[in-house]
Amino acid sequence: MGQGEQKFRWVGTRPIRHDGADKVTGRASFGADFSLPGMLWGRVLRSPHAHARIRKIDLSAALAVPGVKAAISAADLPEIPARSRGSSEGPVDFADLSRNLLAREKVLYHGHAVAAVAATSREAAERALAEIQVDYEPLPVVLGLDEALAPGAPILHEGLRTRGGPDHGPTNVAGRIVFERGDPEQGFGQADLVVEREFRTQTVHQGYIEPHAVVARTDADGQAVVWCCTQGPFMVRAFSAAVLGLEVSQIKVIPSEIGGGFGGKTTVYLEPLAILLSRKAGRPVKMVMSREEVFRATGPAAATHMRVKVGVRRDGTLTAATARLCYEAGAFPGSPYQAGAMTVFAPYRLEHLFVESLDVVCNKPKTTAYRAPGAPQAAFALESVLDEIAQSLDLDPIELRLRNAAREGSETPYGPRFRRIGLVECLEAARSHPHASAPLGPKQGRGVAVGFWFNAGMNSSAELHLNEDGTAVVVTGNPDIGGSRASMAILAAEELGIDVQRVRPVVADTESVGYCDTTGGSRVTFATGMAVVEAAREVVRQLRERTARLWGCEPEQVAFVDGRCVPAEGSGLDHDPLPVAGIARQAARTGGPISGQAQLTARGVGPGFGVHLCDVEVDEETGRVQVIRYTAIQDAGRAVHPSYVEGQLQGGAAQGIGWALGEEFVFDEAGVLQNPGFLDYRMPVASDLPPIDTVVVEVPNPRHPYGVRGVGETPIVPPLAAVANAVARASGVRMTRLPISPPRLLEALLQRAGDRAA
């Protein structure tokens, strides 16, 4: 099979997902659902300071509390020396990871883990936490980008130098990246209009429903088994081994179902602690975060401060653009500042551009990936400026984007040229969608925005076992965060020509399948799906071989068509077709079990583009914004299971709307989060949103056997700008700072009224 105009039997259909009944009936087993006999409860002591030196930690009184079986602090982890930051490193700094798991020299944010205990009850563990003596030397708190970048700012990490930048001595700027092309000044000189604006976005959280949870058991020989909720069981294994000084084969990770991750479950918080506690206590240890702990010490997504400048001719042709982006990394380096820089101008053809992006540490929890990390913020800035340009030049905002849209052969800001992409097709679908021309009422406005995400390939493995009755098991190592079990089963069923419900998709543990990189980067259906297709083709090869043995001919004389082995054309053979089940039943006498396996580093990633249309109505008396219509349009390459593609579009849009309108970490001056719960951290609920309409465009990715592109992340990129642009057109006020919450919009409306009155 390949892409193009083929007819598929399963690809593009909507079978009920294999894990559906269990999930809707509440029987699926999530992180906290697992228990072991004799299990202890682990709890974490967290810092009451946002910035302080640790003089001493004394665990002895805690260990004396009845029921307490183990207590640990950073002294129990092997010390990984903090490398000279700023030097070239791998993607993960285990010195930092270790210090984020358990603070060593300093605590760097309020809620930073300092120690952990395991006891026979939660109550005993809590009592023990209260007995841990920590001697802190409080330090001045650096709460955000402005404070961190101010001259003479307190320094979080004394050894930190700017990676990718000149060495000016100790700094809070952990990294800098620059992309440039042509001569922006010359480009601005050719422009009829130049718009330059400054934007700020807030700290938001991934807001997954399921808190982090783990059970770890360490066997007598030091082998650890870890049950946990994660996007990456192989990541948990590798990271835990690295910070604990173990071999990866000493740790087995069994992933549970996952109640949301969105990038926030691509690192470890509890797992190495639970392993260490179980090793010390000689008993299994369970740890489950409270919602408050999730908010104070995991995630969040980076806050930003951005300045974007765009030049344009009267006809709408962009002549130049520059962007200066600052991303908050939180306590340790590692914000998505590079992705921000790479994505900000990617959707558009630009002869002249300059992007600089900084990674800045401050006394907040270390940021973690959040769906298309770094891109929504940057798109918010650029797409707001483009909307203002369209308004100023009286151009249709879709037309403006179409005129400048990247297409096959366009150079990306970061180097390579795009292969076949679907941005133009998405913009055309937007233009012709009824939503684009629907009339608007008073106080209503319509926003348009484009979003881009690379999508990832990386490493995947898959196995396909044909059972003796012709049913099949397809095994991968990627937790199913968006319906990927169904996609894997569909791809296997399509290749094998058997009913999709006769394929059982399995998410295996780290010892039962080859290495799989983390579920993330919108890579699973693309890359792991590619491995499934390869494994299935290996099974088909074996099916032809087995049939040849049964027919006494050569495998080349056997063709595989629609799930059956048939005599190949010109083979001169005359046999009845042999279905998969028939071959499976005879496997034991034709060479043994039939299984296929594939491992690959997926090449040929297909970038994803989306266009969102958003209508809002603004209540000028309260500042409240109501989204009244929303359409998300995206190129999926090929929608393997359209319902889950649509679900990704809807979910991304919903999260983006929340980011635009309501979600926000509120810190006090001491760096203490004031709203660590879903009551005060306002995520959109069903009643806040209209039904989100979707259009799935299919411009097949030429380098995937079914044309698949990743789809999970792009949908969160446009909404921030789409909502803000709609608000600007509905109210006449352009909000450059998120969230556009009622008090903030009301203040802007009153300000404008005051300006007009003056």
Instruction: State the nearest-atom distance from the C-beta of 471 to a copy of itself, in Å.
Output: 4
Binding site for a copy of itself (CB under 8 A): 18, 20-22, 24-25, 27, 33, 35, 37, 219-221, 223, 238, 241, 247-250, 252, 458-461, 463, 465, 467-469, 471-473, 475, 502-504, 506, 508-516, 587-589, 591-597, 599-602
What is the closest distance, in whole angstroms, from the C-beta atom of residue 528 to a copy of itself in the complex?
A: 11
The full DSSP string for 85-125 is BTB---S--HHHHHHHHS-SSEE-STT-EEEEEEESSHHHH
In the structure, how many helices (H) and strands (E) does the chain have? Answer: 20, 26
Cβ burial of 637 (10 Å; 0-12, 13-18, 19+) is: buried
Q: Are strands 251-255 and 285-288 parallel, antiparallel or unpaired?
A: unpaired
Is the Cβ of residue 446 or residue 704 nearer to a copy of itself in the bound state? 704
- From the CB of 466, what's the least distance to a copy of itself, in Å? 8
Q: How far is the CB of 91 from a copy of itself (least distance, A)?
A: 11
State the minimum distance, in angstroms, from the CB of residue 22 to a copy of itself.
Answer: 5
Beta bridge partners of 566: 559
**Shortest approach of a copy of itself to residue 19 CB, angstroms?**
8
Q: What is the DSSP string of 178-236?
A: EEEES-HHHHHHT-SEEEEEEEEE--B----SSPPEEEEEE-TTS-EEEEE--S-HHHH
What tokens were used for 1? 């099979």
When the beta carbons of 102 and 513 are compared against a copy of itself, the nearer one is 513
The neighbouring-strand residues paired with 464 are: 474, 596
Residue whose C-alpha is closest to residue 738's, from 305, 359, 382: 305
Least distance in Å: CB of 247 to a copy of itself? 5
- CA distances to 96, 200, 237, 285, 450 from 385, in Å: 37, 13, 44, 52, 12
**Which residue's CB is nearer to a copy of itself, number 508 or number 711?**
508
Could you tell me the smallest distance in angstroms from the CB atom of residue 51 to a copy of itself? 35
Burial of 621 (0-12, 13-18, 19+ CB in 10 A): exposed
Residue in the block written with tokens 């169904």: 486
Q: Which is nearer to a copy of itself, 74 or 503 (CB)?
A: 503
Considering the complex, state which of residue 143 and residue 258 has its C-beta at the smaller distance from a copy of itself.
Answer: 258
Of 487 and 595, CB closest to a copy of itself? 595
- Helix (H), strand (E), coil (C) string for 124-161: HHHHHHHHCEEEEEECCCCCCHHHHHCCCCCCCCCCCC
| Closest approach of a copy of itself to the CB of residue 290, in Å | 21
Query: Cβ of residue 566: shortest distance to a copy of itself, in angstroms?
Result: 24
Select 404 or 595, whichever has its Cβ closest to a copy of itself: 595
Which tokens sit at 344?
């900000």
CB of 359 to a copy of itself, least distance (A): 24
CB of 38 to a copy of itself, least distance (A): 10
The least distance separating a copy of itself from the CB of residue 580, rounded to whole angstroms, comes to 13
Least distance between a copy of itself and beta carbon 90 (Å): 11
Closest to a copy of itself by CB, 588 vs 753, is 588
Q: 539 or 611: whose CB is closer to a copy of itself?
A: 539
Closer to a copy of itself by CB, 138 or 245: give it: 245
Three-state SS for 621-652 is CCCEEEEEEEEEEEECCCCCCHHHHHHHHHHH
Beta strand 40-46 pairing with 133-138: unpaired
Q: What is the CA radius of gyration of the chain?
A: 27
**Contact between 239 and 92 (Cβ < 8 Å):** yes
N-term to C-term CA, the chain = 69
Residue with smaller CB distance to a copy of itself, 247 or 669: 247
CB atoms within 10 A of CB 290: 12
Q: Which is nearer to a copy of itself, 186 or 223 (CB)?
A: 223
Which ranges constitute the DSSP H helices of 516-587? 529-551, 580-585
Half-sphere exposure of 4 (CA within 13 A, CB side): 3
- Hey, is 273 helix, strand or coil? helix
Nearest to 495 by CA among 555, 544, 538: 538
CB of 605 to a copy of itself, least distance (A): 14
Distance CA 367, CA 303 (A): 9
Handedness of CA 630, 635, 639, 641 (dihedral sign): negative
Q: Across-strand partners of 446? A: 615
Cα distance between residue 93 and residue 57, in whole Å? 24
The least CB distance from residue 221 to a copy of itself, in Å, is 4
Query: What whole-number distance in Å separates Cα of residue 49 and Cα of residue 57?
Result: 15
* Least distance between a copy of itself and beta carbon 465 (Å): 5
CB of 459 to a copy of itself, least distance (A): 5
Nearer to a copy of itself, 214 or 738 (CB): 214
Cross-strand partners of 137: 53
Structure token pair of residue 53: 């030196």
Contact (CB, 8 A) for 160 and 85: yes
Reading the block at residue 692, the tokens are: 């989100």
Q: Strand 353-361 relative to strand 318-330: parallel, antiparallel, unpaired?
A: parallel
Length of the chain: 758
SS3 64: coil
Nearer to a copy of itself, 154 or 604 (CB): 604
Residue closer to a copy of itself (CB basis): 530 or 738 = 530
